[in-house]
Amino acid sequence: MELHYNVQGSGDPIVLLHSPGVDMRVWKFVVPQLAHTKKVITFDGRGTGQSPSPTKPLDLVHDLLMLLDHLGIEKTVLVGHSMGGQISTDFSLLYPSRVEKLILIAPSLTGFQYSSEFTSWMAQVNAAAPDVEKLTNLSLQGPIYSVTMSGPHCDFLYELTHHYMKKVFTEWKNFEVIWPQPPAIERLHDISADTLFIRGTVEWADIDRVGELFKQVPSIRFVTIDDADHMVPLTHPDELSRQIQKFIENE
């Protein structure tokens, strides 16, 4: 298996997919809580952490399929954060029989058109390339990281982001990502898994719009975590773990 992964605990499987800009270490405060009762799988997405960098277009949904097949997991709970949520959503549409439940944390969405506010901010960050220090600093100055960067895990997030940026600009040979077609935004009503949508209150307005679209999912529940920014696994790991466990146990 090419991708670097870790398994903790025993019981029914739950797979955690991290956001872009970091790696599986972002789950370090969540995994121990879930691993009391579940087999928790985390992994570094291709091009992040200790996984190999891409030399051809990334098929992140297929990477998830390969990981599950490698581990012999026929059906699992998926927990996806940000782009990890986008991957999990697309996977759920392609392979519905492999998904027990779907938990999304401030997810992105294939086919969604982001606001000019968000795209302008991203353009400002990307303009700093390939200066890794500047890229990291500009990225973490974004309003959606304000809670984390003023809290106890600010240095940890900086370390994760800096490692990611350095890897991208020294190792990546390809930047194209392949997503399934038609895009998920057109097929949300086809998601068959029970779904939980979690978000913090310190977010881009785009997350509200994405949440509205997810109301098309036949069986979905929404949870808002007060005073959490985009990095919910770092700002509110205890509350996040509690909500995940509550949903899995049908409480």
Q: What are 130's two structure tokens?
A: 């390939």
Residue where the block lists tokens 């399934």: 180
Are 19 and 26 in contact by the 8 Å Cβ rule? The answer is yes
Residue 123: is its pLDDT beyond 80?
yes
Looking at residue 175, its pLDDT comes to 86
Please state which architecture CATH assigns to domain 5-113+174-248: 3-Layer(aba) Sandwich (3.40)
HEC profile of 172-235:
CCCCCECCCCCCHHHCHHHCCCEEEEEEECCCCHHHHHHHHHHCCCCCEEEEEECCCCCCHHHH
| Those residues with Cβ within 8 angstroms of residue 6's Cβ, 6 or more apart along the chain or in another chain | 24, 41, 42, 43
State the virtual CA torsion across 34, 250, 201, 49 in degrees, nearest 10. Answer: 30
**Mean pLDDT for the stretch of residues 109-137:** 94
Average model confidence (pLDDT) across the chain: 97
Looking at residue 173, its pLDDT comes to 87
Query: Could you read off the pLDDT of 126-180 as tens digits, one per residue?
Result: 899 889 999 999 999 999 999 999 999 999 999 999 999 999 989 988 889 999 9
Instruction: pLDDT band for 217, please (50, 70, 90 cuts).
Output: very high
Per cent of the chain over pLDDT 70 is 100
Are 231 and 199 in contact by the 8 Å Cβ rule? The answer is no
- Strand 194-200, strand 99-105: pairing: parallel
Looking at residue 119, its pLDDT comes to 94
**Triad 153, 127, 129: Cα angle to 5°:** 70
Residue 235: is its pLDDT beyond 80?
yes
